[in-house]
Amino acid sequence: MTLIRRNQSLPAFTNFFDDFLSNEWNEWGLKNYSRTNTTIPSVNILENDESFKIEVAAPGLEKNDFSIEVNKGTLKISSEKKNENELKEDSYSRKEFSYQSFCRSFSLPLTVDSDKIEAKYDKGILLVTIPKREEAKPKPIKMIEIQ
């Protein structure tokens, strides 16, 4: 067996190729596609003093296509949409159908009030607002009087 020693003093372009080839390019499809071979929507998670907000980019869907549930500290956002188009004329018929679905799950911290979660769908963006519990919100500075 022959050992190959890697020389770090080689030009930077060899490191570029090593980095390029070591990235999980073949795994990209598995991470960004659902079981139905449709893309999984991108998600932004925002936090402020009052709440967490999850923005799901899902254009082309409707409010009724989504399902949002909370179970044992996990928020699950899913969607399922089926389309069927059928065209019949004289001696031929054509039927096209499509099916797309996705499911994203998020672990909720103990500091949120899961009973007050709200969701709104507008212009291709699903916005889920997860309020924080009162004890998790920052408190104003309290001055202690010295006696």
- pLDDT tens per residue across span 9-25: 555 445 555 555 555 55
Phi, psi of 107 (to 5 degrees): -80, 125
Q: What pTM did the predictor assign?
A: 0.65
Query: Strand ranges (DSSP E) for the chain?
Result: 43-47, 51-57, 66-71, 74-89, 92-107, 118-122, 125-131
Is the pLDDT confidence value at 27 over 70? no
- pLDDT tens per residue across span 44-91: 999 999 999 999 998 888 899 999 999 999 999 999 888 777 777 777
CATH for 32-136 (3.40.720.10, 3.30.1340.10, 2.60.40.790, 2.30.110.10): 2.60.40.790
